[in-house]
């Protein structure tokens, strides 16, 4: 790996990393993208049956960029001939974008440490283990330690996504459960299980996707959630089930192999002859599906419960350089760390004014914001980013993030 200092180093080769990489490449900056596995690796780990909930459509020529595109001039629908791509298909799209733009991506390189130059005047020499290449120390910029050696960069964009950080410590005994993100295929999961009965804890997107996948594989499924996300309506799709998921759930709603139970809090899981769950109703009463003779408010399921409990911010070695409050990464209005100047965050962990930018069509609108900020600091022209504004992919006014403006 070259230790020559770059203008920007992007960590992550997924949708956010590729997307912000393209925006920065338009400014002719020296950019390096580091990916510890392969391009789109997290998408390739999706269950085989999982599909994008946001539809793709090649409407770019009308100023309505494909909702799943990461650049203004590409469309997964056009590339893949798919409205709801699979994870593997979307990773293929990302690879085609990276190839078309000739992005400088180094795969198989993991980041093991990040230090601001001001705190690490000797970090490069130490990390090089012998001083094969030491970067000049400066008051700005970073030393990044990787499995291929150290490198120096003026700015860092952390774009590692969060699929690799499933939220599992949500109930006592969660080690007896399995997170849905670790399942390769729902069909194979059913076929390899000793019984045909499954329990899913969590009733939002991933929980209902798991339930539908298991049901389609011939299994019986129960879904538990402390709320009723399948019954709630809200104009922000980050808060409720997407129309695509509502439609899929509605198709099997009358099946005797599906049960969705809201208002149910799972407090613990114990390993017995099966898996014993300690549950209570959100109102403190015994849930209706627990037999009245079971005074402990517990019941047993035969297979390992599945956790559909979301994800944590995946900040890795950059975590000490961000402030995190109640699971939310604190950022400036340019998506820069409030703790560490020059360190930016791109992707589904971006939150502003309580609005989650967890879908691609949301967080992609922040790519040119980051690129413009870095370009201005480096003194380069940023007019090339106007194409993002023309395609409604440039959200630099966070005051417009009002999810309650849908009237009907």
Average pLDDT over residues 294-300: 66
User: What is the per-residue pLDDT for 127?
Assistant: 42
Q: Decide if pLDDT at 63 tops 90.
A: no
Q: Where do runs of H (alpha helix) occur along 223-379?
A: 243-252, 360-363, 367-378
Domain ranges of the chain: 6-163+311-400, 174-307
Per DSSP, 345 falls in state: E
Q: Which residues share a beta bridge with 111? A: 146
d(CA 294, CA 276): 12
Q: Span 174-307: which CATH code?
A: 3.50.50.60
Burial class (CB in 10 A: 0-12, 13-18, 19+), 167: middle
Degrees (nearest 5) of the Cα angle 385, 390, 391?
100
Instruction: Give the number of C-alpha atoms closer than 13 A to the C-alpha of residue 135, restricted to the C-beta side.
Output: 28
Angstrom CA distances, 344 to 76, 159, 386, stand at 26, 9, 21
6-163+311-400 and 174-307 in the same fold: yes
pLDDT band at 283 (very low <50, low <70, confident <90, very high): confident
Degrees (nearest 5) of the Cα angle 137, 155, 329?
125
d(CA 185, CA 193): 12
**Token duo for residue 5:** 């200092």
Average pLDDT over residues 360-375: 97
pLDDT band at 140 (very low <50, low <70, confident <90, very high): confident
User: What is the per-residue pLDDT for 294?
Assistant: 46
- 22 Cβ partners below 8 Å, 6+ apart? 70, 71, 97, 101, 103, 367
User: What is the per-residue pLDDT for 332?
Assistant: 97
**Token duo for residue 119:** 């705190």
Q: Decide if pLDDT at 164 tops 90.
A: no
Q: Where do runs of H (alpha helix) occur along 168-262?
A: 186-191, 205-216, 243-252
User: What is the per-residue pLDDT for 139?
Assistant: 56
Share of the chain above pLDDT 90, in %: 76
User: What is the per-residue pLDDT for 402?
Assistant: 62
d(CA 318, CA 105): 20
**Token duo for residue 156:** 């860092």
Q: Decide if pLDDT at 299 tops 70.
A: yes
Higher per-residue confidence, 275 vs 296 = 275
Average pLDDT over residues 181-207: 96
d(CA 143, CA 150): 7
Q: What is the mean pLDDT of the chain?
A: 89
- What is the bridge-based pairing of β-strands 275-281 and 264-271? antiparallel
Q: Decide if pLDDT at 124 tops 50.
A: no
Tell me the per-residue pLDDT of 245-279, one tens digit each, with 9 for 90 and over: 999 999 999 999 999 999 999 999 999 989 999 99
User: What is the per-residue pLDDT for 270?
Assistant: 94
- Please tell me the class of the 6-163+311-400 domain: alpha beta
Average pLDDT over residues 35-51: 97
- What is the bridge-based pairing of β-strands 149-158 and 343-345? parallel
User: What is the per-residue pLDDT for 389?
Assistant: 94
Per DSSP, 172 falls in state: B
pLDDT band at 134 (very low <50, low <70, confident <90, very high): very low
29-38, 117-126, 224-233, 374-383 — which is least confidently predicted?
117-126
Q: Decide if pLDDT at 401 tops 70.
A: no
User: What is the per-residue pLDDT for 121?
Assistant: 43
Backbone angles phi, psi at 145, to 5 degrees: -95, 130
- What is the bridge-based pairing of β-strands 142-146 and 149-158? antiparallel
Residue in 140, 257, 164, 249 with CA at minimum distance from that of residue 204: 249
CB-based contacts of 68-72 (< 8 A; 24+ apart in sequence): 68/360, 68/361, 69/360, 69/364, 70/15, 70/16, 70/18, 70/19, 70/22, 70/94, 70/97, 70/360, 70/364, 70/367, 71/19, 71/22, 71/97, 71/101, 72/387, 72/388, 72/390, 72/391, 72/393
Degrees (nearest 5) of the Cα angle 180, 403, 368?
80
Average pLDDT over residues 283-301: 67
pLDDT band at 291 (very low <50, low <70, confident <90, very high): low
Q: At what angle do helices 367-378 and 15-25 cross, to 10 degrees?
A: 40
Q: Decide if pLDDT at 1 tops 70.
A: no
> Quick one: residue 196, left, alpha or beta (phi over 0 = left, psi -120 to 50 = alpha)?
alpha
Per DSSP, 166 falls in state: B
Average pLDDT over residues 164-177: 92
Tell me the per-residue pLDDT of 197-239, one tens digit each, with 9 for 90 and over: 999 999 999 999 999 999 999 999 999 999 999 988 877 777 7
Q: Decide if pLDDT at 146 tops 50.
A: yes
């Amino acid at each position: 790996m070259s230790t020559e200092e770059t203008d920007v180093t992007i960590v992550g080769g997924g949708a956010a990393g590729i997307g912000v990489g393209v925006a920065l490449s338009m400014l002719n900056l020296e950019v390096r993208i580091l990916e510890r596995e392969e391009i789109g690796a997290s998408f390739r780990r999706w269950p085989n049956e999982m599909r994008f909930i946001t539809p793709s459509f090649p409407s770019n020529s009308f100023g309505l960029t494909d909702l799943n595109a990461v650049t203004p001039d590409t469309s997964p629908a056009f590339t893949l001939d798919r409205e709801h791509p699979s994870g593997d298909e979307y990773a293929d799209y990302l690879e085609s974008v990276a190839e078309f733009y000739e992005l400088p991506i180094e795969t198989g390189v993991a980041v093991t440490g990040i230090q601001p130059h001001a705190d690490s005047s000797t970090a490069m020499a130490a990390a090089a283990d012998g001083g094969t290449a030491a970067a000049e120390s400066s008051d700005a910029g970073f030393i990044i330690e990787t499995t291929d050696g150290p490198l120096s960069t003026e700015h860092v964009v952390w774009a590692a996504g969060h699929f690799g950080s499933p939220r599992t410590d949500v109930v006592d005994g969660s080690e007896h459960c399995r997170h849905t993100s670790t399942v390769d295929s729902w069909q194979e999961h059913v076929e390899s299980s000793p019984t045909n009965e499954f329990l899913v804890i969590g009733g939002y997107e991933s929980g209902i996707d798991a339930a539908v996948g298991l049901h389609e594989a011939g299994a019986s499924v129960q879904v538990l959630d402390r709320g009723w996300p399948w019954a709630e309506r809200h104009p922000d799709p980050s808060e409720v089930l997407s129309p695509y998921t509502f439609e899929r759930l509605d198709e099997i709603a009358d099946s005797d192999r599906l049960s969705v139970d809201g208002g149910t809090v799972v407090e613990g899981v114990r390993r017995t002859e099966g898996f014993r769950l300690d549950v209570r109703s959100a109102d403190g009463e015994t849930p209706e599906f627990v037999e009245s003779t079971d005074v402990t408010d517990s019941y047993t399921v035969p297979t390992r419960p599945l956790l559909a409990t979301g994800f944590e911010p995946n900040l890795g070695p950059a975590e000490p350089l961000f402030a995190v409050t109640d699971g939310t990464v604190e950022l400036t209005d340019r998506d820069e760390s409030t703790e560490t100047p020059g360190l930016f965050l791109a992707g589904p962990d971006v939150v502003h004014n309580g609005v989650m930018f967890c879908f691609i069509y949301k967080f992609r609108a922040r790519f040119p914001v980051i690129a413009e900020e870095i370009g201005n600091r480096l003194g380069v022209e940023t007019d090339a980013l106007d194409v993002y504004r023309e395609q409604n992919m440039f959200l630099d006014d966070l005051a417009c993030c009002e999810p309650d403006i849908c009237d009907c």
